Structure 1
């Protein structure tokens, strides 16, 4: 049956691609990317009566990029209300030390902003407020295609803010939106990779030049293009150029990362688009490098200690609620030799009530009767690891251990300290998990306004060009958790609606 399905899928893709030359000349909107952002744009444009196509690098059975594999957490209290700290968290992570002469102008009407401010690389508060305001009606819109959103009771071992999720995760979003798009008469071209933007002599968008297997060049003509092809975590050259040579130690959180080559960002920068977002950083999440599954996140480290290849601690394992601190801890892991650390636990961890949330790998822990034996199995210096555990144990103090909330059970006189969940590791057998930093998506992307229009270096909208999802730059420093899928859906829908309206201009 699987073989038959694959044959039918291959047949369908072949049929689509052989028709490219016949059908690629008269679209109203071309969307690059088939994740939640791209499909939201495609459906919105098709609903408005536009002739729309989607270009997807992946084959049909792997369509959807990162969205396909994500749980699609949404930073909302319910389908009608975002979390209390939504805009506040974005504001706290909006860029570097912004020029104070520009900060004062943010209170003015964006239409009066100077070109410098419009093109400035920072998190535009108007874009964030649009995201917060449009989130509820966007989820209601998606609900109309059969997707149900439910509360996520225990998203992390400890959480400071609530989350909701689509039942069925990101794949449910992809399936529902793709079905609706095809129902509206839209076309998805699989195994089709965008390469460059086509513009006229005045710089207006005229379409996309792409490559269809086997390296056959095709031009898809349209007055509007929506770039929704993700970030560049699947491009080793861009990762090294922007994130640095240590990016070799990062692994994609899902197979969908491999399809995100950064061409959407590159082709827009090539025609003068303004960058936005932290190009040297990314959304980091702790993972088990041995795992074969998508999303093998490891949040158990607050209940033990983290050591590097030298057998030494290097970070506060329990600085606060897991959902708001795991990224900083993970970045510290990625900075260690070979980008790896080991979470050391004892038998008490078996009784954690939230163990299923804390350990998401299918691989077993490395176990041993003694710390010295555990060190040998991990390839760590036994004398150093024994000294590290002994120093940690001596710094622990009696108190009430609460695995479901920050408990203030901190070490005393230990460097670096551990601020919560500090219990001695003295009850065998002992166990350990290797942990590395995964890359979920990159932060650097394109500057857009609240209409999802891509801006040029002069702060003006590039006629006919839009961006959504991770192609749209927005994040700096610390990721505002559970907003990436939401951002893709909201601005994808905005982009598609605005893009198709250009038919009449």
Structure 2
């Protein structure tokens, strides 16, 4: 057994992504000595932040990037729609109100924004896109934190928490130099969910979990979350709920990132491996529906489906890093997908026959729909009749899980008896289930992380001063 080294600091931040860095910067600006421990090596630092593109923020007027106002009430309506009301109403309102400060805060922290992407995203008014993507945004936050004097250790996983009567005392950290005991007067838990822990996912999903692909880091295994729950912290969220999108089935099991996500569903139809459609591909705007498709595919046989479209859709969406499967006829496309050609053709022809012509427009809920078809396609329905024909095979791509720790407005974790912990704070995916009971709204994961990261960091520093 290696000898355990010991150090002391004011605030220990466990995690290395958006929420963790926002907490570290905020605590340091309030005068606290801060140590960040990140389980991943430096190259893979940042968890799922590495793969993000934007954050959603309420604002009263547009600017050089955001194309118009996005009032708090509209943001709230959007959140209620995607969650079906499954959210803590107080924390939802709090998150949205605090999001109005994120543009200025991020800019002051060195983050730069760019004009929004087009296509199916429709986010130019509601979301701020990071110039250079999530990794550039993350690099800016790390630079700011280090320039402020925040200490950062990589390859350093928290393996044991010393918590007594709801108060944090210390953490045992596994580092390349050996075990390290960190004593601190406050701790911020910001180490993400358990989406990379297939065994844990299997507890809720059964054997289906074996066919899940993990869009982000393989380091988000939920170790910190498990330790907090075992120590008497109150859980929140349905363990079967998660941010799950349809991603290219040819993606690697871990860390495929944003380039494997497919945004072309509204341009075609989606079939399972029995050549049956199973959901309305044109139900609503893509940013409000893209995160339901992973769960939908998870419920299909063998957890696989196929997005089918024709030449009219090419160039209208951001493609996968893998090329679409192409064929001159529907029958040949089915054969390439190893699907029953007769069933495949019958489903596409049945869809084509049900299409009601209208004015196709992805910027609005248009009048291109189907009639007499179950499930319907409510908008953006066009016949798949222009060769060549294309398809993408897709599997559930899990971004992050919603089971987490319950918090209050101060980002303090609540214990099982409902008391706020003395000095234990949480931010990011590890507490996102407070706001996201189910469903997802594009960019809100970054919003939750940044809002509660700032609150947690400031609260931890305030606790240290007092």
Superimposed CA distance per residue, residues 252-300 of structure 1 (whole angstroms, 9 cap, x where no aligned partner): 223x2x1111122111111111111222110112211224652122121
Residues 344 and 455 from structure 1, CA distance in 2 versus in 1: closer, same or farther, beyond 3 angstroms? same
Distance in 1 separating the partners of 2:300 and 2:276: 10
CA apart distance, 1:40: 1.0
Distance in 2 separating the partners of 1:248 and 1:160: 37
User: SS of the counterpart of 2:227?
Assistant: helix
Contact persistence 1:151–1:163 (CA under 8 A): no
**Which residue of the other structure, out of 484, 492, 497, is the alignment partner of 2:458?**
497
User: SS of the counterpart of 1:223?
Assistant: strand
Residues 89 and 348 from structure 1, CA distance in 2 versus in 1: closer, same or farther, beyond 3 angstroms? closer
User: SS of the counterpart of 1:315?
Assistant: coil
CA apart distance, 1:409: 1.4
Q: Is 1:298 equivalent to 2:259 in the alignment?
A: no
Q: How does 1:21-420 map to 2 (within 5 A)?
A: 21=5, 24-77=6-59, 78=62, 84-92=73-81, 123-152=87-116, 154=118, 156-158=120-122, 162-200=126-164, 202-213=165-176, 216-254=178-216, 256=217, 258-291=218-251, 294-295=257-258, 296-350=260-314, 355=316, 358-420=317-379
Distance in 2 separating the partners of 1:323 and 1:151: 17
CA apart distance, 1:88: 2.9
Distance in 1 separating the partners of 2:73 and 2:124: 10
Q: Is 1:467 equivalent to 2:435 in the alignment?
A: no
Radius of gyration: which is bigger?
Answer: 1
Contact persistence 1:196–1:208 (CA under 8 A): yes
Contact persistence 1:48–1:500 (CA under 8 A): yes
Contact persistence 1:76–1:164 (CA under 8 A): no
Distance in 2 separating the partners of 1:84 and 1:331: 28
Stretch moving more, 159-168 or 477-486: 159-168
Structure 2: give runs of 5+ residues left out of the alignment.
Answer: none
Contact persistence 2:15–2:38 (CA under 8 A): yes
Contact persistence 1:469–1:492 (CA under 8 A): yes
Contact persistence 2:237–2:402 (CA under 8 A): yes
Contact persistence 1:158–1:405 (CA under 8 A): no
Residues 95 and 314 from structure 1, CA distance in 2 versus in 1: closer, same or farther, beyond 3 angstroms? closer
User: SS of the counterpart of 1:222?
Assistant: strand
Contact persistence 2:16–2:46 (CA under 8 A): yes
TM-score normalised by the chain length of structure 1 = 0.83
Distance in 2 separating the partners of 1:199 and 1:326: 39
Superimposed CA distance per residue, residues 331-373 of structure 1 (whole angstroms, 9 cap, x where no aligned partner): 22221111111111222223x5xx2xx2331222211122111
CA apart distance, 1:153: 5.1
Superimposed CA distance per residue, residues 174-225 of structure 1 (whole angstroms, 9 cap, x where no aligned partner): 212212222222211110111222124x4421121222237x4321111211
Contact persistence 1:455–1:462 (CA under 8 A): yes
Stretch moving more, 414-423 or 327-336: 327-336
Superimposed CA distance per residue, residues 1-21 of structure 1 (whole angstroms, 9 cap, x where no aligned partner): xxxxxxxxxxxxxxxxx9993
Distance in 2 separating the partners of 1:456 and 1:232: 20
Per residue, is there more helix in 1 or in 2?
Answer: 1
CA apart distance, 1:401: 2.2
Superimposed CA distance per residue, residues 31-89 of structure 1 (whole angstroms, 9 cap, x where no aligned partner): 00010111111111111221110110111121111112211332445589655422234
Stretch moving more, 402-411 or 230-239: 402-411
User: SS of the counterpart of 1:28?
Assistant: strand
Superimposed CA distance per residue, residues 106-149 of structure 1 (whole angstroms, 9 cap, x where no aligned partner): xxxxxxxxxxxxxxxx6332222222222233432221122223
CA apart distance, 1:451: 0.4
User: SS of the counterpart of 2:391?
Assistant: strand
Which residue matches 1:115?
none
Residues 410 and 47 from structure 1, CA distance in 2 versus in 1: closer, same or farther, beyond 3 angstroms? same
Which residue matches 1:108?
none
User: SS of the counterpart of 2:55?
Assistant: coil
Residues 91 and 306 from structure 1, CA distance in 2 versus in 1: closer, same or farther, beyond 3 angstroms? closer
Which residue matches 1:441?
400
Contact persistence 2:83–2:440 (CA under 8 A): no
Structure 1: give runs of 5+ residues left out of the alignment.
Answer: 1-17, 97-121
Q: How many residues align?
A: 452
User: SS of the counterpart of 1:140?
Assistant: helix
Distance in 1 separating the partners of 2:81 and 2:309: 34
Distance in 1 separating the partners of 2:220 and 2:312: 41
Distance in 1 separating the partners of 2:334 and 2:411: 52
